[in-house]
Structure 1
Amino acid sequence: DNIDFLNSSDIESMEVLKDASATTIYGARGANGVIMVTTKRAKEGTSKVQINFTSEMSIQKLQNKIDLLSGQEYATIVNEINPGTYNNIKAVPQTDWQDVIFDDGLGAPIFNAQLSASAATDKGTYYVGVGYFKHEGIIPKSNFERISLKFNNTYTFSKNFSVGNNLSLATTDRQNTNGNAVFVAYRAWPSLEPYNANGTYTPLPGTGNPLADIEYTNSFDKGMRGTGTFFANWEIFNGLTFKSSYGVDWDFNKGHSFSPIYFVSPQQQNSVSRLFKGQSTNNSWVWENTVNYSREIEKHRFDLLAGYTMQSVSSENLGMTAENLVRESEDFWYINQNNINPNSVYNGVDAGANYSMISYLGRINYTFDSKYLFTTTYRIDGSSKFTASNRFAGFPAVAVGWNMHNEPFLQTQNTLSNLKLKASWGGVGNEKIAYNKQYSLVGNGINAVFGTDDAIIAGQTYSSMGNPELRWETTYQTNLGVELGFWKNNFTAEFDYFHKITQDILIDLQLPGFTGNGSGSTITKNAAEILNSGIEFNLKWSNQLGKVNYSIGLLGNTLHNEVLKVRGTGATDDFLVGGNGLTRSVVGQPVGSF
């Protein structure tokens, strides 16, 4: 999910959960791993009001570019295919279109400031923060601005019962550049310069001029988003705790885009001006209820968790497009009869979505003598995006660990302070598709000729073919790891091996023309399988010099990514094209190969 509404200064810590045993408990929301963001709260025991102010400014620049052909290299290859196309290769321009569209000056400035106040008493903790953030983009006509508010509070009614809230509110204002310009820059001829001698844009065969794409794109949107979690904790008796939390997310966006009349080439032109205005509202809520029981019996420790969650998501989108405006200046970017030429085109759209999920979960943690660890988890998810026969799916996980440093045979030495072996296996589901993919959708624009007078009759056909056989995309992952600590954990090392296979991946496939559907018609299927495997390591040295604490770390990973299956069978059916035609996902190769 997008978290651009959060002020980074409000964040206390972030934790990344990747192994299946840890992510299974989160269900479909943890299909690609879990990032746990903990925002700041008042520290207990700080009865006095603490006020903090932070401000920072930085510069962002493009560090790594894709290695593309130079103008002369491109001309050489073209001459091999069609001799004589370039008579003087040394005179061919050397245009790197990445340098043309990306900022080549000092960089794009980023400014962030935050003011917060916090306090704590025996009755609760209180935190409020306000922030301002502004980010200029590294591509012209792109920027982002945000004002944010944060409220985190807890209220203690007794030693057994407390409630609290985490609330965030943010307003955003952004200008969006033409995202297609980046893809065009990768494909544009490096043998042509951006401008003609008279200062107009150079026509580029096949792709168009990316600078013109940026110049003639005017896209803006404003948004407001509010998120909140309200929770209650009740310790029913010693060891048994009930927790209930209700989270809401409300998001409103309003935007407009304008494209003027222009001409660069017959393939890159706009014969009439176009104005689009739209707004969207997205609402969701999640209600989670869990019961946790913990008990220790001599060397045995048990931790049992059971619960269920419910989630609902709804959205509505309104939009209108008009062509042939009387005036093109920004002051007249309105859709009304006084600003649109007669006989102009109006188009409107009103769309909405509504889907829900319900889940049941359970987890058992067992520890013996602080040495041997065992965890098993099982979660059942149900989504309205699938038909009744495929709506529910179960996902198990199991993990074991061995704290070897607690064994007697390692207690006599002082060098090794931590040694833990761990292994886990588990599965998690994913249902991140549109809510209506099980249904066929009908669209306009398909005309046919009938009768003796060859009259053109407007028709309709499927714009998207429904698939009632859709089922959960599943990922099964195996992890093996070791944690090491030396000299009272001044030096720590962690190594993990992971092997993850994602099956029944939900993708949109192009329908062939003989099905009678319009151009661009698709059907969603469980039609791919991908492997990700590799090793991750994290090395860290921490110590103290006088009163100064310092740490030095090194982390990295290896990754093997491979497409195992696409669509199932067929020698000519083993790849998908993406990235505006720049990438392909081919069986036996990494996803999205350039």
Structure 2
Amino acid sequence: MERRTQRPPKGLIFRLGSKIVFSILSFLIISQLTASAQQPVTVTGVVASSTGDPIPAATVMEKGTNVATVSDDQGKFSIAVSNANGVLVISSVGYASRELPLNGRTALDTIKLSPASTETNLEEVVVVGYGTMRKSDLTGSISTAKGSDIIKGQSFNALEGLKGRAAGVNIFSNTGQPGGEMRVIIRGLATINASANPLYVVDGVVMQNFQFLNPNDIESIEVLKDASSAAIYGARGANGVVLVTTKRGATGAKKAQVSYAGSISVGKMARYIDVMDANEWMATFKQGLENANAWQGRNYTTDLSKIFTDPYLFNSDGSPKFNTNWQKEASRTAVSHNHQLNIQRSMDKASIGAFLNYTDQQGILLNSYFKRLNAKLAYDDKPTDWLSTGVNLLVNHTWGNRTSDNPYGQGALRTMIEQLPFLPVKLADGTYAQTNNIGTTAIPVNQNNPGGATQGFQPEGVGNPVELLNRMEAMQYRTQIFGNAALTFHLAKDLELKTQFGVDYQINRATNYIPFTPRPLINQNSEGSASASSASTFYWQEETYLTYKKRIDRHSINAMLGLSWQENLYNYFSSSDSKFVDDYFGFYNMGRGTNRPTVGSDYDKWAMNSYFFRGAYSYDNKYMATITGRYDGSSKFGPNSKYGFSPR
């Protein structure tokens, strides 16, 4: 459901300028809320051209959602849609997009796409390494996604919004953490031991960590997928290159634009694991005693009232007083919201854009969250006919509390499944219940031998997941300053020289604290522990390149020659301590710990000097040739081979 209005409702004053665009995006239901929620429906079909030839790698998407897939070599596709009466959007490069209502159908006839306008398709310009090219002149494999498509699902991560919109690009996550990082694999896993992450280039500057860039700032994304298109970046582009162009000021005549976009999403646990409740647990425990007596020759009593005698937890007949669903107690209905304010203005020969964003993403597990505050400023000017300038500055700060992803330790993901169902969340005195709170009575196995073997119940130490989530702190803070300044000299009609300086400065800080008052968490440090780490990365690059573009009748030439310098500095420091006398300072004063502290540090520096070129020739939009080369010198290379050449 989507509602748009051109002015605020009555009684609300919201003046932002001469033009106000106010949109409230509909609630997004992230997961199935109940067992009666609508189940996904699988729809199959074939995508073909107007002549009946199958179209491989066509994108098939359920309109208004992030659900998408691509067709195979035979044009066949299968997609699990959330609404049997929804609409599919089918698109492919070189063809006009088509919307197809399902109307309850699950097996579709052949879907034929008409060719896109020839002239429009040939003249479309896409971003490539160090410049732009007409799509008709490309010889490499490039996928393009518009920023407006990426934010349709109002995802908090740009990579999540890119899912299903770039053929051959697989995007997935191994964590359910709010703000969790995504993995990107372009055309299969390129390596086993080394990183398979692609190279991210934002506005011509390499970005060290792309995960937390505000997707609302993105104008378009181009993915260079093959060796030919990515070779301009040398060995760093071996896993593919993701080129990102961010939004700038308004274009065209003198005007100002002010727009606001907001969204709210609600999420719950998609489904709960079927575990035993308290009565089922007690019945199973009793059955175990009976089996031991029958098959192992034991003489255990099966009267549970003689074993479970704690009057606070059990009735007089041994039945439990509490029946706790730990999965529901440790989770919640997560409400997340996102707010974006854009102010863009164009002048005679200049434009300016200011962009503000605030994101608050709640996790489904208690006390887990991720927040982002983002500001971006872009300014472009052309003071003379022979000079253009551009400045881009982005400041991004994120913070959040994480839960343990470790299913084997005392993390909530484990304990919410294994904790005893007859324990309450809290005891009568307000403290959290633990397995060591269970009061049981040791009973002689042989009544004629009271001093012999006894039977009872001593459970494994399993933490209270609600306590673990509420009391343990695992905070992460990230601050990024990213930007560039560029000068473009228009030397002739078809010849220009661009020089650009960019920086990417990031500080990542993590703090963790395990308290011990009013009493220690089970299986955790008995006297509290704290740790903190801080890592900073400063990357800078300077690149200058000359571009020549010329079209003569049916001939098209696009040539580029450039050089660059880059340097990266990394510093890391960590410390930890334990045995605190109180929880007053937490991780803010680890000197209060009485144990021997542990410290660590790291430092790394590398630099590169590169020379690169690209030449592309096209005749009559039919015959094309591209040659690319890069000559890299790196401080990581050996002293006798500092430079390496990568032709393609």
Q: TM-score range by the shorter chain?
A: 0.5 to 0.7
The alpha-carbon distance between structure 1 residues 215 and 205, as it changes in their structure 2 partners (threshold 3 A), is: farther
The answer to whether 1:334 aligns with 2:588 is yes
> How high is the sequence identity, in percent, across the aligned residues?
28
* 2:611 pairs with one of 349, 360, 368: 360
Structure 2: which amino acid aligns with 1:35?
V
2:336 match = 110
1:121 to 333, 339, 347: 347
For residue 162 of structure 1, what is the aligned residue in structure 2?
388
Measure how far apart 1:336 and its partner are. Answer: 6.2
Write the distance in 2 (CA, Å) between the matches of 1:246 and 1:363.
Answer: 21
Question: For residues 95 and 386 of structure 1, what CA distance do their matches in structure 2 show?
Answer: 60
Helix, strand or coil for the counterpart of 2:391? Answer: strand
Match of 2:255 among 40, 43, 48: 48
- What is the CA deviation profile of residues 407-455 of structure 1, one whole-angstrom value per residue up to 9, with x for unaligned ones? xxxxxxxxxxxxxxxxxxxxxxxxxxxxxxxxxxxxxxxxxxxxxxxxx
C-alpha distance in 2, partners of 1:179/1:328? 25
CA distance in 1, matches of 2:356, 2:472: 33
3-state SS, counterpart of residue 167 of structure 1 = strand
User: Which structure 2 residues correspond to residues 144-543 of structure 1 after superposition, within 5 A?
Assistant: 144-181=370-407, 193=420, 196=423, 200-202=433-435, 214=469, 217-261=472-516, 268-329=523-584, 331=585, 333-335=587-589, 339-341=592-594, 344-389=595-640, 392-397=643-648
Q: How far apart are residue 351 of structure 1 and its match? A: 2.7
Q: CA deviation at 1:126?
A: 0.7
User: Structure 1: which amino acid aligns with 2:224?
Assistant: L
SS at match of 1:269: coil
Does the 8 Å contact 1:287/1:309 carry over to 2? Answer: yes
Query: Which residue of 1 is the match for residue 147 of structure 2?
Result: none
CA distance in 2, matches of 1:281, 1:257: 18
Aligned-residue RMSD, C-alpha:
4.0
Query: Which is worse superposed, 320-329 or 152-161?
Result: 320-329
Measure, in 2, the Cα distance between the counterparts of 1:303 and 1:177: 51
Post-superposition shift, 1:373?
1.8
Q: Is the 8 A contact 1:127 1:153 kept in 2?
A: yes
* Structure 1 residue 145 displacement after superposition: 1.6
Provide the residue aligned with 2:83 in structure 1: none
Structure 1: where are the runs of 5+ without partners?
Answer: 89-93, 398-594
- Alignment partner of 1:8 out of 189, 194, 215: 215
How far did 1:269 drift? 2.9
Distance 2:357 2:590 in 1: 38
| Residues 260, 157 of structure 1: alpha-carbon distance in 2 compared, 3 angstrom cutoff | same
- The one-letter amino acid paired with 1:110 is S
8 Å Cα contact 1:70-1:95 kept in structure 2: no
Match for 1:275: what amino acid?
A
**What is the distance in 2 between the residues matched to 1:140 and 1:386?**
48
The letter for the 1-side match of 2:609 is I
Asked whether the equivalents of residues 68 and 186 of structure 1 are also in contact (C-alpha less than 8 Å), the reply is: no
Q: Does 1:17 align with 2:224?
A: yes
Q: Which amino acid aligns with 2:246?
A: T
Q: Hey, what's the Cα distance between the residues in 2 that align with 1:182 and 1:161?
A: 61
Shift of residue 168, structure 1, vs aligned partner: 0.4
Q: 2:358 aligns with which of 132, 142, 147?
A: 132
The separation in 2 between residues aligned to 1:380 and 1:164, in whole angstroms, is 28
Deviates more, 1:52-61 or 1:120-129: 52-61
Larger mean Cα displacement after TM superposition, 38-47 or 386-395:
386-395
Q: State the partner residue of 1:539.
A: none
Pick which of 254-263 and 187-196 moved more.
Answer: 187-196
Task: Give CA deviations for 1:18-69 in whole Å, capped at 9, x if unaligned.
Answer: 222222223344333222222212232241222112211113455589x999
Structure 2 gap ranges (5+): 1-207, 303-322, 437-458
The correspondence of residues 570-585 of structure 1 with structure 2, limited to 5 A, is none
Check the 8 A contact 1:363/1:375 in 2, yes or no.
yes
Q: Quick check: 1:194–1:211 contact (8 Å CA) kept in 2? A: no
- The offset of 1:17, in angstroms, is 2.5
Please give the alpha-carbon distance, in whole angstroms, between the structure 2 residues aligned to 1:234 and 1:50.
29
* Equivalent residue, structure 1, for 2:455: none
Change (3 A) 1:239 1:214: same
- Letter of the 1:310 counterpart: W
Larger radius of gyration: 2
| 1:347-389 alpha-carbon deviations (Å, 9 max, x no partner) | 3333322112232222111101111122222223343234335
Deviation, structure 1 residue 325: 1.5
Matched, 1:57 2:264: yes
Q: Aligned to 2:209, what secondary structure does the other structure show?
A: coil
Aligned length: 379
Q: Secondary structure at the match of 1:41?
A: coil
User: Per-residue deviation at 1:333?
Assistant: 4.1
Query: Aligned equivalents of 1:231 and 1:64: distance in 2?
Result: 51
Give the partner amino acid of 1:360. Answer: Y
In structure 2, relative to structure 1, the CA distance for the partners of 1:351 and 1:372 (3 Å cut) is: same
- Paired residues of 1:124 and 1:154 also in contact (CA < 8 A): yes
TM-superposed deviation, 1:158: 2.0
CA distance in 2, matches of 1:205, 1:145: 37
CA contact (8 A) 2:542 2:566 kept: yes
> For 1:49, what is the secondary structure of its paired residue?
strand
Offset at residue 95 of structure 1 (A): 11
Is the alpha carbon distance of 1:381 and 1:254 closer, same or farther for their aligned partners in structure 2, counting shifts above 3 Å? same
Q: Cα offset for 1:181?
A: 4.3
Three-state SS of the structure 1 residue aligned to 2:251 is: coil
- Range 375-384 or range 298-307, more displaced: 375-384
Instruction: Provide the C-alpha distance between the structure 1 equivalents of 2:513 and 2:565, rounded to a whole number of angstroms.
Output: 41
Q: Distance in 1 between matches of 2:369 and 2:640?
A: 46
- Secondary structure of 2:588's counterpart equals coil
Structure 2: distance between partners of 1:216 and 1:208? 12
Farther off after superposition, 40-49 or 228-237: 40-49
CA deviation map 1:216-272 (0-9, x unaligned): 53122333221011111112223222111111011224442111236666xx33133
SS of match in other structure, 2:589: coil
Amino acid at match of 2:433: T
Q: Is the 8 A contact 1:300 1:366 kept in 2?
A: yes
